[in-house]
Amino acid sequence: MEIKTDLTVAYRIYPKISGSPAVFSDDKYKLSEFCLKSFKNSLGDLKVKMFVLLDNCPPKYKDLFLKYFDAEDLNFIELDGIGNQSTFSLQIKLLLNQKFSEIIYFAEDDYFYLPNQFRDMFDFLKENKDVDFVSPYDHLDYYKNTIHEYKTSIKLSKNRHWRTAGSTCLTFLTTKSVLQKTKNTFLTYEKGNTDLGLWLSITKHSMNSPKILIKSSKNLFVLKSLYKILLYNKTQIFRGKRWTLYVPIPSIATHLEKEYLSPSHDWEEIMEKYINE
C-alpha cells in the first residue's frame, strides 16, 4: 500500500439543522464553518487528505472547505440528498478504497474541536496496537445512561485518561485494516440499525449483563437498538471478535447537540471565546 499522508478523512455535511445545536441553532452555514475551522485548527501539523461528501449542499459549502484546506488535499463528492445512512455507507467505501493512509477518520459536520489536540488521538491509536477505535468525544451518555454501567479499562497518554466505552456516535478514528474486518456490522446502519446498535455489537459492552440490559430496556431508544442488534448482528454478537473503543478524558471534541455536550469542559465559555476571536 502506498502511504502518502498521515490521515484520510471522510467528512460528510448536510445544509440543514439537525437537532438543537448549542451555537448557530438557526444558521447551518455558520455552524458548519464554526465546526470546520475548529477541526482544521485541531489537526495541527498532520498531513490530511479529505473526501468531502456534500449532500445536497449549495456551492458555498464547497467554497467553505477551500477556505480552510488546500484544493489538492480535497476530493469533493456532490450528492443529491441521499441522507444520513447512505452517506455513512459511502464513507466506509471511500475510506476502504483510498490509498493515501492506513489511519482513517469518519467526520460529521456538527462537532467542535479543541485546537491542536487531534494529534493526541492520532498518536494514541498509532502507539497502542490493542486500540481499535478512538472517539474524540467524551459522551454525556457515559455518565447518565444505564447501558453504560459497565467496568472500563484506563490508559494514560498525552496528559489525559483514555477510557474504554461501549458506544459513541459516527465520528471516530480507526484503521483501514480494522474497518475492513468490521465493515459488515457498520453497513447495517443503512439497513436501519442505530449507531448504538452498531457499537454495542462491536464492543459487546453490557451485552453479557442481564441486569444492565433489563434496566436499560426502559429506554425506548436502547430497546430499539437491542432489537436491531438481534435483527442484524447476531453472528457478530455471539461469534464475532470483541473490538476496543476508547474515548479521551478530558474530551478533545464535543458533539454540539446542546443537551449532550461533553461534561469535561466549560464549552459555553470556550466556544464564546472562539467565536469572538
Instruction: List the chain domain ranges.
Output: 7-276
Q: Which residues of the chain have pLDDT under 70?
A: 1-3
Is-contact 168 200, C-beta < 8 A?
Answer: no
Q: What is the pLDDT of residue 1?
A: 46
CB atoms within 10 A of CB 228: 21
Is 130 buried (19+), middle (13-18) or exposed (0-12) by CB count in 10 A?
Answer: exposed
What are the residues whose beta carbons fall under 8 Å from the beta carbon of 38, sequence distance 6 or more? Answer: 111, 112, 113, 114, 115, 253, 274
Is-contact 202 208, C-beta < 8 A?
Answer: no
Is-contact 21 275, C-beta < 8 A?
Answer: no
Omega of the bond leading into 115 within 30 degrees of 0 (cis): no
Q: Grid coordinates standing for 128?
A: 497502542
Indicate the Cα dihedral angle 195, 201, 202, 205, nearest 10°: 100
* pLDDT, tens digit (0-9, with 9 covering 90-100), for 153-189: 999 998 899 999 999 999 999 999 999 999 999 999 9
Task: Determine the Cα–Cα distance for residues 197 and 62; give it in Å rounded to an integer.
Answer: 33
* Bridge partner list, 253: 113, 137
The residue to which cell 478533545 is assigned: 252
For domain 7-276, is the CATH number 3.90.550? yes
pTM score, two decimals?
Answer: 0.96
Task: Determine the Cα–Cα distance for residues 189 and 194; give it in Å rounded to an integer.
Answer: 6
Q: What is the pLDDT of residue 3?
A: 53
Q: What is the pLDDT of residue 260?
A: 95
